Chains A and B, each alone.
Chain A
């Protein structure tokens, strides 16, 4: 056992001031002082992540001064890889370097607390890390062979680009929910700022996807289920019936001519795949089409089918949708001649149902058109969406230009709050639109009242003048908030990638890793990462393709080595039954682990009746040693937290959401590795309360959490201290800090009561003596 290794470890503790970000709040000198007796080397730097900072650590390792490293700095999510690759270069096993987060979890969230509160926390966390690093094994990550195939989810411009960019080097499966490719872009008319026609630039790409031998394409298809593990997924797809065989259909149109109810149709002329489809809500099931089809392509009783594909990587490019603005009741949507911008675009696009003519409900041209920006955006009351949808300022100007182009004396008004035209050629576009005679009003539209004659009264304040105004328009176009398309959250959950509180997928790093997600084999591109224009979606598609290619090119995936070790086994098989991933089996009467199937969740640890299973580097003794060291620097609340919830705490830190400095996080791969032994130890070492915070959306784990919590509560009851379980997804950082504060207050109050009681008890015997 590593804990019994005789040679003393040479531990180096490196603390980062982060240019004041940390040291303005945390007294790093005092932390260093407190480590004096620990027999470690301590060093404080301005920026550890700088080359000078890294060089110092590298030197110490190379000279043999240290052989284990604790870094006190920002979140490991930012720089763990940076430091570990430095350690590797210096000849140290990277796993022997760990980061303690004293920025997002201390200086940024406790700067309004007492200095001593923050300092005792920082001392505790660092000492806990020292205790931990001295006890861990030098593990080496496991390697697993990758499946060299990518699933691209979403056939809009981002997904199309990703697929095409990848397909020359790697196999691609592209799936699309709609019956045709092209996403929102195929529903656009002209595209800003150059006003080239959307279908003209997109159609060649859609055809290229269709014809590329490296791309398998499925339309009307969604992800049903994801099994397997990163690098080696088995994904079940669900295909809705089209009733027309895409391969056989030659788009001759004989079927549509025979159909009495208009149920069979070509989605639109340029649609890829070029094949008819049936709207079953209209079909009378007469079979006329079946009989007339020269290719036997039609099957009226086709059913939903499923298939399974394997893939090493997934790119999510599921895009956006425009929010339904009917919740903005003062706008009275829907009403005739009151449309969303998407509806306006479609009228002028390949998907047009009016022959690409702009027209009112009565078929005439609208002579006065209003564009209403920020419909349901920039709203912090919970009624609408907080974020800016980014593209509306520019596309509404484009639409206004189109109105003027179609009829020179028509009026186009744009109601805006801030005209945001940052980006190459966009200010020029704004200027050009002004030149065309479009009328700009700075003011959010207050209400839209439909009139009897189909026009609309728009009421607003012209904020540049401070005057209220009313205008009648023939047509009003709302520019609603853009949100992730329906089903994004469900898909993200299946793939184990977090979404933000705005619903968009979280990037691995918002600036430096913009198309990676927190799951190393899942990538994202386009509007599923936030509203953006075609240019940026294409850029992200290319980036994602590059990242996927880089990932698959390695051939293998590294798997964290923190897996269960079976130290003792009586062959009862409880762990085998408990494992949700079938990673354990009984062989010759003993439990045996298949490490590549194992996710390291640790469910097997507490279920073993003889405590014969431990997770490497998260053994009961290792956790206890860490807890003892943390709580030795002052009582607090121990919060065991999994990596997903840890990411929420990081976001709370970045947003400077303050919470009690009594909170001490202890990172665990999953809360399911914990048993009463560890929790009781925390209470014995002085924790005033313990929380288990789980962020994973893996139902195989979360479905067992309640049971675990109940069991732990029962088995730790004797301490009469609070224990709480909570599920916090990455996006819920506000809920997280609220929860932490409430719990810290409760635990603190309870501890106060207890200590008064203890004091009273202490007095009693003294009284007897006297």
Chain B
């Protein structure tokens, strides 16, 4: 990726403030760039920016670069960085925070697609059937054909049942998913109303100083 000059116009302080306000983001300003996160990360060598660099970019508010980086999708969510960070920053949670924002900004990614398939499956059935997941994901991801022998080997051991495991009653789960969607809509309308500055204090967490 071509690197650009950091200019005042590339810095989005509203984005920075939004991330810092999300649970787990409050310590981001205290990052000393020690790199223990990236050193601990099993997959940081595959990232275009290491977790440390991502935190730095958030400090500066480089929204575009942050949301376009593959870092947030490469993360395997192993939390090695989070338990080691000497400043109490939680890079793993940061990735979780950034994922929906990136999706909302229209960023496309394989993992986002899989997450979407996963959400759809449990929205519909309440449980995640591996067979359904793999087959649905394969529809949109032609490369998945390579996985066919793997699926077959599982099937042969009775580990990939074709019967789909479902909840008996889905009513409550619908409400739960609506809960999230409602908030998304709320954020969306707010964004429309306020134009450039999206999602203000949407989570409403009043106490930033809560310590564990």
Cα of A442 to Cα of B39 in the assembled complex, Å: 12
Does the CB pair B39–A380 fall under 8 Å? no
- Known interface pairs A466-B50, A466-B53, A468-B50; A443-B35 also in contact (CB < 8 Å): yes
State which of A202-210, A457-465, A511-519, A705-713 sits at the interface with chain B: A457-465
Per the 8 Å Cβ criterion, residues 403-447 of A in contact with B are 417-418, 442-447
Shortest Cβ distance from B39 into A: residue: A446
Does the CB pair B88–A380 fall under 8 Å? yes
A214 at the interface (CB under 8 A from B): no
State which of B79-87, B109-117, B127-135, B176-184 sits at the interface with chain A: B79-87
* A467 surroundings in chain B (CB, below 8 A): 45
Distance in Å from the Cβ of A675 to the closest Cβ of chain B?
Answer: 37
**B87 is contacted by which of A381, A446, A462 (Cβ under 8 Å)?**
A381
B22 at the interface (CB under 8 A from A): no
A490 at the interface (CB under 8 A from B): no
Per the 8 Å Cβ criterion, residues 2-60 of B in contact with A are 27, 30, 32-41, 44-45, 49-50, 52-53
User: Which of B36, B37, B44, B45 has the most C-beta atoms of chain A within 10 angstroms of its own C-beta?
Assistant: B36
- Per the CB 8 Å criterion, the residue count for chain A at the interface is 25
* A447 surroundings in chain B (CB, below 8 A): 39-40
A314 at the interface (CB under 8 A from B): no
* B27 surroundings in chain A (CB, below 8 A): 380
User: Which of B27, B85, B86 has the most C-beta atoms of chain A within 10 angstroms of its own C-beta?
Assistant: B86
- Known interface pairs A380-B86, A381-B88, A384-B86; A468-B38 also in contact (CB < 8 Å): yes
* A469 surroundings in chain B (CB, below 8 A): 39
- Known interface pairs A417-B34, A463-B33, A463-B52; A468-B87 also in contact (CB < 8 Å): no
Does the CB pair B86–A466 fall under 8 Å? no
Does the CB pair B39–A417 fall under 8 Å? no
* A445 surroundings in chain B (CB, below 8 A): 36, 39
Cα of A445 to Cα of B37 in the assembled complex, Å: 10
* A383 surroundings in chain B (CB, below 8 A): 86
Distance in Å from the Cβ of B45 to the closest Cβ of chain A?
Answer: 5
* B33 surroundings in chain A (CB, below 8 A): 417, 463
Distance in Å from the Cβ of B93 to the closest Cβ of chain A?
Answer: 14
Residues 325-338 of chain A, each 1 if its beta carbon lies under 8 Å from chain B, else 0: 00000100000000
Does the CB pair B39–A460 fall under 8 Å? yes
- Known interface pairs A418-B32, A466-B53; A444-B39 also in contact (CB < 8 Å): yes
What bracket does the count of chain B residues touching chain A fall in?
20 to 34
Shortest Cβ distance from B48 into A: residue: A466
Shortest Cβ distance from B211 into A: residue: A382
Shortest Cβ distance from B53 into A: residue: A466
Residues 56-95 of chain B, each 1 if its beta carbon lies under 8 Å from chain A, else 0: 0000000000000000000000000000111110000000
Cα of A379 to Cα of B85 in the assembled complex, Å: 8
Distance in Å from the Cβ of A95 to the closest Cβ of chain B?
Answer: 41
Does the CB pair A381–B86 fall under 8 Å? yes
Cα of A383 to Cα of B87 in the assembled complex, Å: 10
A687 at the interface (CB under 8 A from B): no
- Known interface pairs A444-B34, A463-B33, A466-B49; A379-B86 also in contact (CB < 8 Å): yes
Does the CB pair B41–A468 fall under 8 Å? yes
User: Which of B39, B49, B52, B53 has the most C-beta atoms of chain A within 10 angstroms of its own C-beta?
Assistant: B39
* A444 surroundings in chain B (CB, below 8 A): 34-36, 39, 86
Cα of A384 to Cα of B84 in the assembled complex, Å: 11
**A378 is contacted by which of B40, B44, B86 (Cβ under 8 Å)?**
B86
Cα of A598 to Cα of B39 in the assembled complex, Å: 61
**A461 is contacted by which of B30, B44, B86, B88 (Cβ under 8 Å)?**
B44
Cα of A468 to Cα of B71 in the assembled complex, Å: 14
Interface of A is mostly: loop
Cα of A462 to Cα of B45 in the assembled complex, Å: 11
A631 at the interface (CB under 8 A from B): no
* A460 surroundings in chain B (CB, below 8 A): 35, 39
* A463 surroundings in chain B (CB, below 8 A): 33-35, 38, 52
Cα of A378 to Cα of B32 in the assembled complex, Å: 9
Per the 8 Å Cβ criterion, residues 153-192 of B in contact with A are none
A347 at the interface (CB under 8 A from B): no
* A380 surroundings in chain B (CB, below 8 A): 27, 30, 86-88
A475 at the interface (CB under 8 A from B): no
A374 at the interface (CB under 8 A from B): yes
* B44 surroundings in chain A (CB, below 8 A): 461, 468
Does the CB pair B34–A443 fall under 8 Å? yes
User: Which of B27, B50, B53 has the most C-beta atoms of chain A within 10 angstroms of its own C-beta?
Assistant: B50
Residues 465-481 of chain A, each 1 if its beta carbon lies under 8 Å from chain B, else 0: 01111000000000000
Distance in Å from the Cβ of A374 to the closest Cβ of chain B?
Answer: 7
Per the 8 Å Cβ criterion, residues 372-388 of A in contact with B are 374, 378-381, 383-384
- Known interface pairs A378-B86, A379-B86, A380-B86; A461-B32 also in contact (CB < 8 Å): no
Cα of A587 to Cα of B39 in the assembled complex, Å: 76
Cα of A106 to Cα of B158 in the assembled complex, Å: 71
Distance in Å from the Cβ of B50 to the closest Cβ of chain A?
Answer: 5
User: Which of A461, A467, A468, A469 has the most C-beta atoms of chain B within 10 angstroms of its own C-beta?
Assistant: A461
Shortest Cβ distance from A328 into B: residue: B84
Does the CB pair A446–B32 fall under 8 Å? no
Shortest Cβ distance from A379 into B: residue: B86
- Known interface pairs A380-B88, A461-B44; A468-B32 also in contact (CB < 8 Å): no
* A446 surroundings in chain B (CB, below 8 A): 35-36, 38-40, 84
* B86 surroundings in chain A (CB, below 8 A): 374, 378-381, 383-384, 444
Shortest Cβ distance from A386 into B: residue: B86
Cα of A374 to Cα of B45 in the assembled complex, Å: 24
* B34 surroundings in chain A (CB, below 8 A): 374, 378, 417, 443-444, 463
Cα of A330 to Cα of B86 in the assembled complex, Å: 13
Does the CB pair B39–A443 fall under 8 Å? yes
Cα of A330 to Cα of B84 in the assembled complex, Å: 9
User: Which of B34, B36, B49, B50 has the most C-beta atoms of chain A within 10 angstroms of its own C-beta?
Assistant: B34
Cα of A383 to Cα of B88 in the assembled complex, Å: 10
- Known interface pairs A378-B86, A381-B86; A330-B30 also in contact (CB < 8 Å): no
Per the 8 Å Cβ criterion, residues 341-393 of A in contact with B are 374, 378-381, 383-384
Cα of A418 to Cα of B41 in the assembled complex, Å: 21
Cα of A383 to Cα of B82 in the assembled complex, Å: 13
Does the CB pair A417–B32 fall under 8 Å? yes
Cα of A466 to Cα of B53 in the assembled complex, Å: 7
* B35 surroundings in chain A (CB, below 8 A): 442-444, 446, 460-463
Does the CB pair B39–A468 fall under 8 Å? yes
Cα of A758 to Cα of B40 in the assembled complex, Å: 62
Residues 3-22 of chain A, each 1 if its beta carbon lies under 8 Å from chain B, else 0: 00000000000000000000
Cα of A203 to Cα of B98 in the assembled complex, Å: 61
Distance in Å from the Cβ of B53 to the closest Cβ of chain A?
Answer: 6
Distance in Å from the Cβ of B58 to the closest Cβ of chain A?
Answer: 15
* B85 surroundings in chain A (CB, below 8 A): 381
Distance in Å from the Cβ of A78 to the closest Cβ of chain B?
Answer: 28
Cα of A269 to Cα of B74 in the assembled complex, Å: 59
Cα of A418 to Cα of B31 in the assembled complex, Å: 13
Distance in Å from the Cβ of B28 to the closest Cβ of chain A?
Answer: 13
Shortest Cβ distance from A469 into B: residue: B39
Cα of A367 to Cα of B40 in the assembled complex, Å: 26
Cα of A358 to Cα of B52 in the assembled complex, Å: 36
Shortest Cβ distance from A442 into B: residue: B35
**B39 is contacted by which of A378, A381, A459 (Cβ under 8 Å)?**
A459
Give 20 pairs: A residue, B residue, CB < 8 Å, sorted on A. A330-B84, A374-B86, A379-B86, A380-B30, A381-B88, A418-B32, A442-B35, A444-B86, A445-B36, A445-B39, A446-B35, A446-B38, A446-B40, A461-B52, A463-B35, A463-B52, A466-B38, A468-B41, A468-B50, A469-B39
**Which residues of chain B have a CB within 8 Å of any CB of chain A?**
27, 30, 32-41, 44-45, 49-50, 52-53, 84-88
Interface contacts beyond A461-B36, A466-B50, A468-B45: sample of 14 additional A-B pairs, CB < 8 Å, sorted by A: A374-B34, A378-B86, A380-B27, A381-B87, A417-B33, A443-B38, A445-B39, A446-B39, A459-B39, A460-B39, A461-B38, A463-B52, A467-B45, A468-B39
Closest 5 CB pairs of A and B: A446-B39, A461-B35, A461-B38, A444-B34, A379-B86
